[in-house]
Amino acid sequence: MKGNKLYIIALTLVATLGGLLFGYDTAVISGTVESLRVFFIEPQGLPLAQASSLEGFVVSSALIGCILGACAAGWLSQRFGRKPSLQIAAILFLLSAIGSAWPELFWGTPGSGDHTFLYHFVTYRIIGGIGVGLASMVSPMYIAEIAPADKRGTLVSWNQFAIIFGMLVIYFVNYAIARQGDADWLHTTGWRWMFASEIIPATLFFITLLFVPETPRYMVMRGREERALTVLQKISGNGAESEMASIRESLSEKAPSMRPYYRSILSWAGLFVILFVILKLCKVNSAFGIALVFSFLVALIYPIRSYGFPIIIVGVLLASLQQFIGINVVLYYAPEIFKTMGAATDTALLQQIIVGAVNLSFTILAILTVDKFGRRPLMIVGALVMAISMFILGTTFYLHSVGIGSLICMLVYTAGFAMSWGPVCWVLLSEIFPNSIRSMVMSIAVASQWISNFLVSWTFPMLDKNETLTAMFNHGFSYWIYGLMGVLAALFIWKMVPETTGKSLEEMEGYWKRRG
């Protein structure tokens, strides 16, 4: 690695705190699902179908914010910079941690709230989700823009390591908190401390961001070349001048107008509101999800027309398939799945720690191999491993043979994701787009990732607890769907995604020009 290794590592570690909070915030919900159901949903006395739908909505509500954050990330990072965008994310993480723990904060004494504060809680989860959406796009982009080409895959993969590490930390925190009292205490008080624990890493993230620079590529884009060269000299050493020339050349062509991007967001938001109101008036139970999907697809018309169809379709499918293979069902609902297998609450949380440890271990394997073996081989092999694991897991449920074999399937599935679609997907998203439009197009791709995440997380309880599907397949149906998505993901990588290993960000721009 050329240049100042310690300087590059320091910048990367600060940026990866955004990834750590991404994992921490999205996974904290896994230890609270039962408590949130008891505290917020059961007192409302809803029929089973409505209660399951509401449970899925509450658990996945942060993902609404993730979608909004990802949509806004392109504009924020393009207008104000990568560093200020990460600072905004840190503030949102802090607000969410406080508000999710005590949603009644401005209406009564902390800890005195009841189920009537459900939507206050949801609001704070959405605020945290906006922070996640920002960090999920800007953290890997920041790392990609400061990393040398030959080490970019490894350094960006550190962000995924931080995401998984954040998840593993909160699994331990949730387990430790759950051990402090009985089930009644957990359902009334313990879940609050699980959310409040995020205050510590959020504060640390904001403070450390005060000491890092803006990325050289963004500074050149804004005409601050002298400062950009100073940072490049610390990063690239003697190669700073040639890298500066490459960046200038890649930015010499006029960047596309931001106007189509604004239109994309406005069309998405406007159409969503209209569709949601119409579907609600027609009493469609899945109004939110349907409106979300169709409005987002229409919103893609402007960016596709402006930036080129191949870039958008590869970015959107890459990000969406990462979720359609079902990883967040395992991460968010693992304790509930283990309870379906017959485990008690404490045992289920402990088994989730095992899942997190496997996830972390195989992420390290990806970090060590992504620049050696390449992006495409890891992605194809990982997708096939996940597909086979999901098919077998669904079959164990279907045959009423749930046991240690089912747990092994979940662990193999998690390992397959951790060595491929977890870290390598973010590496590809951070490096396949041209400099001048990276923030805009990556924002669209990441927004599609969070929409897919929301849909999978919201629909899983409805599929898994559907009486008809349960009677026919005994909880196996949804896992077969995720297995099929794994097969499609492998085919997609094989046919449509370019290899980026060892190529500079400027070289990837030439690839899309040839395809455009």
Report the run of H or E that residue 104 belongs to, with start and end: none
pLDDT, averaged across the chain: 77
Q: What is the DSSP letter of 319?
A: H
Across 83-87, 153-157, 165-169, 290-294, least confident range: 290-294
User: Quick check: 189 and 44 in contact, CB under 8 A?
Assistant: no
Res. 506: pLDDT tops 90: no
Full-model pTM: 0.70
**Mean pLDDT of the 114-135 span:** 86
Q: Report the C-alpha gap between 478 and 462 in whole angstroms.
A: 10
% of residues, the chain, pLDDT over 70: 77
Cβ atoms of 279 and 287 within 8 Å: the answer is: yes
Structure tokens at 222: 């804004």
Q: Is 113 helix (H, G, I), strand (E, B) or coil?
A: coil
pLDDT in tens, 221-256: 777 878 888 887 787 777 667 777 777 766 665 555
Structure tokens at 428: 């590809």
Q: Tell which residue, 206, 194, 68, has the closest CA to residue 126.
A: 68
308 has pLDDT over 80: no
Least confident of 108-122, 232-246, 329-343, 393-407: 329-343
**Residue 381, pLDDT score:** 92
Domain 5-212+300-515 has CATH 3.30.460.20: no
**pLDDT at site 332:** 56
pLDDT score, position 1: 45
Of 75-84, 134-143, 260-269, 274-283, give the lowest mean pLDDT range: 260-269
What is the pLDDT averaged over residues 322-328? Answer: 84
Rounded to an integer, what distance in angstroms lies between the CA atom of residue 206 and that of residue 479?
Answer: 39
Q: Name the residue ranges covered by the structural domains of the chain.
A: 5-212+300-515, 216-253, 262-299
Residue pair 397/474 in contact by the 8 Å Cβ criterion: yes
pLDDT of residue 309: 60
Q: pLDDT, tens digit, for every residue of 408-418? A: 888 899 899 98
Instruction: Give the residue, 161 or 465, on which the prediction is more confident.
Output: 161
Gap between the terminal Cα atoms of the chain: 33
